[in-house]
Amino acid sequence: MLKQNISDSDGIPHIEGIESETTNNMPAKKVKLLHILLVTETWMPEVNGVAMSLGQLMHQLNLKGHNISLLRPKPNHNSALSNSSESYFQVMQDISHDLQVKGMSIPKYKELQFGAPVYFKIKKHFQQLQPDVVHIATEGPLGLAALWAAKILNITVTTGYHTQFHDFSRHFGLGILARPMMAYFKWFHNTSQATCVPSQKTFHDLDALGFKRLYEVGRGVDLERFNPAHRSEALRAKWGAHSQHTVLLMVSRLSPEKGVDLVIKSFKALQQEQLHRVVKLVIVGDGPDKERLESLAAGNKEDIIFVGAQTGKDLSEHYASADVFVFASQVETFGNVVVEAMASGLPVYAFDDAAAGMLVTEKSGVLIRFGDEKAFVEKVASLPKMQVLKEQGIEASKSVAGFSWQRPAEQMLTMFYDSIYHTQLSD
């Protein structure tokens, strides 16, 4: 069961320094407008679920009148995307203070960085800005330094849990570290006033491990950006796909833990099983496993198409121009791409886990028992006719029609208000 929130009669804890706020579709009520300082090691223009989700959540909170500051590693200019991108400018409009520390590259992930744990610099920033809450979205060195600084200054601190390290680690030969790292994660998050998780499954998994003060803060989708209306026949033509051809799509970081090789294997099985059918596999994304994956597809260069990382309008068109979404990752805390695909009118073939397990039904796709890779290959190889896929895609789009970012933002605010309230009680 989700925890009960301690609050006054209108659902908002009594917090010192009350101001007025009018929320979307809600009457005006007395709440404190917050200064939120977000600590993260990933941010736009980086392309990953955490960066995109944090950007959307902060945007919604800014729309409600809350002040957002950011602490992050200095942007890596070798990133696949430029800091001059339209999406980057849009998300930075929500940020009042962009605080940066030196970045340190993560092995095998050139586009990602650790933030330097410059404790005294971070503490000085916190003293100057005096945020109401510090929200830490990384357990790395930067997050640890921020946690200590907030604690020393008696600033309310909350955390976000985004990585299934116990699953992730086995793909990099780090299984021996899974137990001590999870012990560290548990200590880290339990040291904060609250921890948000993106799904009920992750909530229950962590609760069973002894994580405390958990809040579910779900995910949403931009229904204007991810929409079947963005389908492009010109883009399909670039892939060599005509109207009667079937295009499979995967959007993912190209990394061993994401199961892209299983998708390629499944696609090849589909080609062998349905010789009469012209099929294409489009893989959107970049990452450290790109060369190995391209070698796996070397004999199918015309049919397995790597298009690199895509954002904005280009990403929208890639989703909407495909016919089915295939997703073989088994390490997700949520999986934003599943919701984006469904909003774009694509049926989903995925393991029964995270977002797929929550949202996909037999009317909108196919769920495969978690971990059963043989069944995954078999299900993709037996892909139904286009008419069935179109009907499933329509149902997929309908099923996420109310999946906006407003509700997750409200859930996050509840966590912030509760945490500030309990901090005041302990003073």
Each residue's pLDDT, cut to its tens digit, for the chain (427 residues) gives: 333 333 333 444 545 544 434 444 444 445 689 999 999 988 887 778 888 899 999 999 999 999 999 999 988 655 544 444 556 667 788 999 999 998 877 665 556 667 878 999 999 999 999 999 999 999 989 999 999 999 999 999 999 998 755 444 444 445 566 678 889 999 999 999 999 999 888 899 899 999 999 999 999 999 999 999 999 999 999 999 998 999 999 999 898 889 999 999 999 999 999 999 999 999 999 988 999 999 999 988 899 999 999 988 999 999 999 999 999 998 887 889 999 999 999 999 999 988 899 999 999 999 999 999 999 999 999 999 999 999 999 999 999 998 889 999 999 999 999 999 988 777 6
Single-letter amino acid code for the residue at 220: G
Confidence (pLDDT) at 177: 66
Confidence (pLDDT) at 146: 97
3-class SS letters over the chain: CCCCCCCCCCCCCCCCCCEEECCCCCCCEEECCCEEEEECCCCCCCCCHHHHHHHHHHHHHHHCCCEEEEEEECCCCCCCCCCCCHHHHHHHCCEEEEEEECEEEECCEEEEEEECCCHHHHHHHHHHHCCCEEEECCCCHHHHHHHHHHHHCCCEEEEECCCCHHHHHHHHCCHHHHHHHHHHHHHHHHHCCEEEECCHHHHHHHHHCCCCCEEECCCCCCCCCCCHHHCCHHHHHHCCCCCCCEEEEEECCCCHHHCHHHHHHHHHHHHHHCCCCCEEEEEECCCCCHHHHHHHCHHHCCCEEEEECCCHHHHHHHHHCCCEEEECCCCCCCCHHHHHHHHCCCCEEEECCHHHHHHCCCCCEEEECCCCHHHHHHHHHCCCCHHHHHHHHHHHHHHCCCCCCHHHHHHHHHHHHHHHHHHHHHC
CA distance 60 to 310: 23
- The superfamily CATH assigns to domain 228-399 is Glycogen Phosphorylase B; (3.40.50.2000)
Confidence (pLDDT) at 89: 66
* Positions of CATH 3.40.50.2000 in the chain: 19-220+404-426, 228-399
| Distances from the Cα of 294 to the Cα of 253, 259, 303, 353, angstroms | 14, 14, 12, 27
Q: What is the CATH number of domain 19-220+404-426?
A: 3.40.50.2000
Confidence (pLDDT) at 77: 59
Confidence (pLDDT) at 145: 96
Q: What is the C-alpha radius of gyration for the chain, rounded to an integer number of angstroms? A: 22
CA distance 165 to 370: 17
pTM, rounded to two decimals: 0.81
Would you state the structure tokens that stand for residue 91, as one six-digit string? Answer: 């998300």
